[in-house]
Amino acid sequence: MLCGKGLVAGYLGAPVLHEVSIDVRRGEVFCLLGANGAGKSTTAKCLAGALGLRGGRVTIDDVDVTAAGAHERVRRGVSLVPEARHLFGRSTVRDNIMLGGWTKSRSHRPASFERVLEMFPQLKRLLKSRARDLSGGEQQMVAIGRALMADPRYLILDEPSLGLAPIYVDAILRQAAELARQRVGILLIEQNVGKALSIGHRAAVVETGRVVLSGTAEEVAANPLVVDSYLGGAA
């Protein structure tokens, strides 16, 4: 389990997260929902070690990693695909993906690279292209592929479908579900709440830095707060 317990964190000034607790199990898609500015990305950064905590702790399969930085957490099985993707625009698609293999010996990288291309065959013909020349959806696949090079046991996807055409949104969410079937624990932050919950196993809603609701994806999808605020009151 990837577990954040009582996370308190922020930037300058007042805390943004007020004792957020969240746990992601291997083999599940856990949806983290909430309005803009609620603290979803901040939670993701705390779990991945990209932001220090003022309180609480993080464990990966029962190992306390609260003091460990982001690199150490990647080695221990947690990878984050951040909202902004952070690709190297002038480098090729191949080089961007390969960069994610730094945790592994050189001899293991080709097999991981092949698995990334099996997952995203659309990238095969783009390997020599510069990352910045790709569409948003293709870039997101590169960002996810790079994270997969480390063979994560837990993968945090922060708004993977932001700004993408619907065809890519479906492709990326389908791959998230497939990764969960392969025993990866997925923390999925998504604005496409209906689509996310349709592939999710469990979910939580954060509001102003607090978890206000959590349960199975079905329970959360049926909750009036979620129906009214995130599903357009349509259910």
Ligand X SMILES: Nc1ncnc2c1ncn2[C@@H]1O[C@H](COP(=O)(O)OP(=O)(O)OP(=O)(O)O)[C@@H](O)[C@H]1O
Task: Please give the residue ranges that form the binding site for Mg ion (CB under 5 A).
Answer: 40-41
- Asked if 147 and 115 count as a contact pair (C-beta separation under 8 A), the reply is no
Nearer to ligand X, 37 or 163 (CB): 37
CA 124 vs CA 23, 168, 184: distances in Å = 35, 16, 24
Query: Binding residue for ligand X (CB under 6 A) from 9, 31, 33, 38?
Result: 38
As a whole number of angstroms, the longest Cα–Cα distance in the chain is 52
Q: Does residue 105 touch ligand X according to CB under 6 A? A: no
Q: Does residue 34 touch ligand X according to CB under 6 A? A: yes
DSSP three-state, residue 215: strand
DSSP three-state, residue 159: coil
Query: Binding residue for ligand X (CB under 6 A) from 6, 37, 55, 110?
Result: 37
CA–CA gap between residue 147 and residue 69 (Å, rounded): 16
Choose the contact partner of 39 out of ligand X, Mg ion, none; CB within 5 to 8 A by kind: ligand X
Query: Binding residue for ligand X (CB under 6 A) from 28, 31, 39, 131?
Result: 39
Shortest approach of ligand X to residue 109 CB, angstroms? 32
Q: Which two tokens stand for residue 100?
A: 């994610």
What is the size of the binding site for ligand X (CB under 6 A)? 10
Shortest approach of Mg ion to residue 40 CB, angstroms? 5
Q: Residue 70: exposed, middle, or buried by beta-carbon count in 10 A (0-12, 13-18, 19+)?
A: middle
Nearer to ligand X, 16 or 93 (CB): 16
Task: List residues binding ligand X (CB under 6 A).
Answer: 11, 16, 34, 36-42
